[in-house]
């Protein structure tokens, strides 16, 4: 598993880091923690050392000469560094190469990707000097940011300044452990669909499926973490939305059809991970039907076929990937779907196996593409599988596209 170094800044949001440290240890990652002098006012070294099962490092350790310099050892050891909360003071030190404590010296001594999670008062965040510093480190390839959130702050101000939640930071670090911080999809425009559509009979009843959108969300997050400009079009989901470039919410298959067809021409890749229904009630009733008025036989009609429409209209520079949730033999139906709908590739996954399919945190899949290539993936966390799928997309796209790819549509 991975080696994660956490540098805790001096802000009230420091308490949120405890949940992450505990979770990473449970996932068998190695975690080491640097507690800055200001952070010790908010969280004790004993707390984080207990959670990480390792001694917590403080500036007192930095100034003790024992063997190799500690900041060199930690900087070389880390595969990913998380700095959270990133305060205005800590941001200024990083932006200007200042190194007067253990954390800032370690950052200068490391080549590992660094994820920062800013947190401060709204007025402080909006100061030009702070924004200049933030944009400066954002321009460095080593640094990545989970962004800042808006809401009620500890100082009673309302606005941007909240640190991202642990459930947002966790997948970012996961991605950086997988990619090493590469932004190999920078310049690509990628459309991802997610969730399960609902076809309403009346305001309270609908035909649907158990999809939670977890696989589509993982694809969108992974693409975003690798530098792509991501558009997510989603039906109802079972979880919270990540921060992305553009998000469009829909409910029905017809609504998703309209949103996807409108967005598709500007995209380089389209990953259709949503579970779109095949049929809908022929008649919609604007008021709730009484139980006695429910029909014994429900007339149905097909919903618009999004994949077929995209397969018909896609341009040579565009990559179109479908998904097929299957039971039993998953390969043959997927290959038939790929050919029938003019897809470039398809990912088939079983929904009748433990740990795979709808609602699970893991999944397995098979990649098939129109060149006859196949990849088999074992049961993996969905974010890990998402990166594997993106790797397959990239390799296929590069193999069939001119050297200038991504296209002009992708920037």
Using left for φ > 0, alpha for ψ between -120 and 50, and beta otherwise, residue 63 falls in alpha
Could you tell me which residues come within 8 angstroms of residue 398 by beta carbon, excluding any fewer than 6 positions away? 405
Separation of alpha carbons 362 and 289, rounded Å? 39
Which of 243, 238, 309 minimizes the C-alpha distance to 272? 309
Which of 251, 397, 272 minimizes the C-alpha distance to 334? 272
The crossing angle, in degrees rounded to 10, of helices 214-225 and 166-179 is 60
Question: Which strand (E) or helix (H) includes residue 35?
Answer: strand 30-35
The SS3 assignment for 86 reads strand
Separation of alpha carbons 372 and 360, rounded Å? 29
Could you tell me which residues come within 8 angstroms of residue 381 by beta carbon, excluding any fewer than 6 positions away? 174, 361, 362
Q: Which residue has the tokens 């920062």?
A: 116
Per the annotation, the verdict on 155 as an active-site residue is: yes
Q: Which residue has the tokens 């460095």?
A: 140
- List 155, 270, 297, 393, catalytic entry: 155
Q: Which residue intervals of 96-127 are DSSP H helices?
A: 102-108, 122-126
Could you tell me which residues come within 8 angstroms of residue 149 by beta carbon, excluding any fewer than 6 positions away? 160, 162, 163, 164, 165
Which of 98-136 are b and which e, b meaning 16 or more Cβ less than 10 Å from the residue's Cβ? ebebbbbbbbebbebbbbbbbbbbbeebeeeebeebbee
Q: And the tokens for 182?
A: 């590469």
Catalytic residues: 155
């Amino acid at each position: 598993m991975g080696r994660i170094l956490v540098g805790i800044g001096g802000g009230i949001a420091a308490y949120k880091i405890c949940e992450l440290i505990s979770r990473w240890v449970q996932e068998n990652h190695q975690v080491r923690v640097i507690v800055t002098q200001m952070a010790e006012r908010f969280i004790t070294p004993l707390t984080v050392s207990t959670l990480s099962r390792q001694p917590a490092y403080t500036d007192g350790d930095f100034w003790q000469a024992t063997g190799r310099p500690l900041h060199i050892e930690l900087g070389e050891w880390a595969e990913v560094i998380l700095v959270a909360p990133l305060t205005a003071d800590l941001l200024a030190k990083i932006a200007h190469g200042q190194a007067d404590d253990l954390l800032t010296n370690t950052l200068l001594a490391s080549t590992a990707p660094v994820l920062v999670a800013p947190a401060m008062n709204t007025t402080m965040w909006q100061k030009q000097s702070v924004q200049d510093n933030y944009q400066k480190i954002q321009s460095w390839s080593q640094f990545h940011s989970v962004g800042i959130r808006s809401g009620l702050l500890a100082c009673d101000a309302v606005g941007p300044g909240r640190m991202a939640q642990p459930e947002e930071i966790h997948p970012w670090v996961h991605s950086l452990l997988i990619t090493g911080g590469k932004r190999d999809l920078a310049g690509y425009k990628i459309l991802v669909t997610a969730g399960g559509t609902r076809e309403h009979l009346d305001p309270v009843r609908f035909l649907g499926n158990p999809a939670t959108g977890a696989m589509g969300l993982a694809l969108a997050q992974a693409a975003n973490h690798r530098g792509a400009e991501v558009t997510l079009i989603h039906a109802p989901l079972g979880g919270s939305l990540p921060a992305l470039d553009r998000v469009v919410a829909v409910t029905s298959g017809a609504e998703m059809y309209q949103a996807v067809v409108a967005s598709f021409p500007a995209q380089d890749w389209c990953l259709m991970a949503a579970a779109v229904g095949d049929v809908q009630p022929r008649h919609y009733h604007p008021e709730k039907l009484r139980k006695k008025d429910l029909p014994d036989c429900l007339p149905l009609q097909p919903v618009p076929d999004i994949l077929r429409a995209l397969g018909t209209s896609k341009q040579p520079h565009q990559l179109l990937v479908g998904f097929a949730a299957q039971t039993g033999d998953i390969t043959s139906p997927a290959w038939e779907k790929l050919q029938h709908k003019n897809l470039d590739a398809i990912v088939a996954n079983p929904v009748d196996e433990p740990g795979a399919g709808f609602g699970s945190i893991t999944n397995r899949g098979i990649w098939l593409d129109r060149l006859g290539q196949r990849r088999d993936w074992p049961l993996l966390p969905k974010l890990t599988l998402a990166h594997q799928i993106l790797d397959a997309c990239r390799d296929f796209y590069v193999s069939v596209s001119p050297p200038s790819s991504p296209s002009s549509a992708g920037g």
